[in-house]
Structures are given as structure tokens and as C-alpha cells.
Amino acid sequence: GFGQWCRYVADSGSAPETVDKAKLRDFAEAVTQNHGRSLPRLFAEALLLRTMECLGEQMICCPERLSFLYYGIVEEAGGMCMPEDERPNTVKYMIDFEDLQDGLMQMSHHSNPYVSKKMPDGSSSRGLNFDDINESGIQCREKVGKTYREPASIQVVIDAFLCYRVPLVLKLWTMLIAFYIYLGTGYGSDISTLNNGDWYWPEWLRLNFIQW
């Protein structure tokens, strides 16, 4: 997960200038290949991630946010791609509990995404949800904030159509093809399903169906 996050952020245009994309690619390669680090270091990195998941509680539902925080912690500790002869004897990972659970208090205070409300920091914002926290990790935001405006009223219908337009079109074409085949099966009346030609040489109703 962390390696894929590194690749995605490095190849996207959403990362701020404070994030080194070349270093992200090195991190992704190091995690994928597991090279350049000793076995105790690999165990420590895995333990760090598991500790973050446990202390973050519901933040485990936001892997991109956890990946961004993981990147910052590892980077602060000296990175993970240093040669063995330059590696310090001890590596200390520091987890900021406030950063780790950033977003949960905002959700507890206000979680209605359709209504704006004054937040504890004095700003006015719509309700936060896990999608916003996750997207904040993808955008490499230091602080979690609202990133998505949920549709309301007729926009719900438009949004649903835009999101599911591919399966809707596939189902529509499947229904049309099934009806075209049915017109030549002979299961209906003589007028509707007989004498309509073969599928490759349509006649009568099959031909009209294609033209319509």
C-alpha cells in the first residue's frame, strides 16, 4: 500500500512542492524490492506501520492518509534508502498522535456533509468524512480538510449517472442484443419471432429493429 501511494503521488500533479517526487519513487522501489535495508530495519518499518494502524483507531480506514504520515515519519528518521555504511546506528521513529488522529475530532464535532458549521478552529466547513481524510493523504495535506462536495437534490441523479454510466451502457447494449436474438428464436408469435432472417442476414422485424 505505501509503495503504491508513493508511485501514485509521484506520477500525479496533486503533490505539493514540499514533497520530493524523486524520493517517493526511490521509496516505492525500496519497499517493493526490499533492498538496501537490514532485516531489523525491515521489521522496525513494519512495526511502525502496525503501531500507526493501532493507535490511529478508525484511521485504519484511510490508508492514503496513513501512507502520507508514514512517509513523513520515515523521512524525518533519515529515509529508507541510505547505504548501509551511511546508516546511523539507531533510528528513532516519532509518531505525532495529534497528526495521526487529525480528522476524527472534526468528524465527531460535525459529520453532516450537506450543512456548514463552525468548527473548533473557528472556520466554517461542511461535515468531514473518511473520504475527505483519505483524499487529504493523496493531496499530501499537512492538515486534514474538506476535499469533496457531496451532491444534493438533482445533482445526486446526475452524479449517479456519471459514476455508473459504463455499467448502465453495458446493460443497455446487452438488453438490445438479447432482444435482437429473441426476434429470431421462434418463441413468440409467428409475426414477432419468425421469418426475421438469420442474425447475420436480418429481415423484417430484425431489420426494422436495427434501423430504429
| DSSP states along 173-191 | HHHHHHHHHHTTTS-S-HH
In this prediction the pTM is 0.72
Q: What are phi and psi of 166, to 5 degrees?
A: -65, -55
Query: What pLDDT score was predicted for residue 96?
Result: 93
Query: What pLDDT score was predicted for residue 11?
Result: 85
Query: What pLDDT score was predicted for residue 88?
Result: 54
List per-residue pLDDT tens for the chain, 212 residues long: 888 889 888 888 767 777 888 888 888 888 888 766 778 888 888 899 999 999 988 899 999 999 999 999 998 888 775 555 445 567 889 999 999 999 898 988 988 988 888 888 888 888 899 999 999 999 999 999 898 888 888 988 998 999 999 999 999 999 999 999 999 888 877 778 888 888 889 988 998 999 88
| Of 71, 78, 79, nearest in space to 95 by CA | 71
Query: What pLDDT score was predicted for residue 87?
Result: 53
H-type alpha helices, the chain: 2-11, 21-33, 39-55, 63-76, 97-100, 104-109, 130-138, 154-163, 165-182, 190-193, 204-211
Query: What pLDDT score was predicted for residue 85?
Result: 44
- According to DSSP, residue 102 is labeled T
Residues 52 and 70 sit within 8 Å (Cβ to Cβ): yes
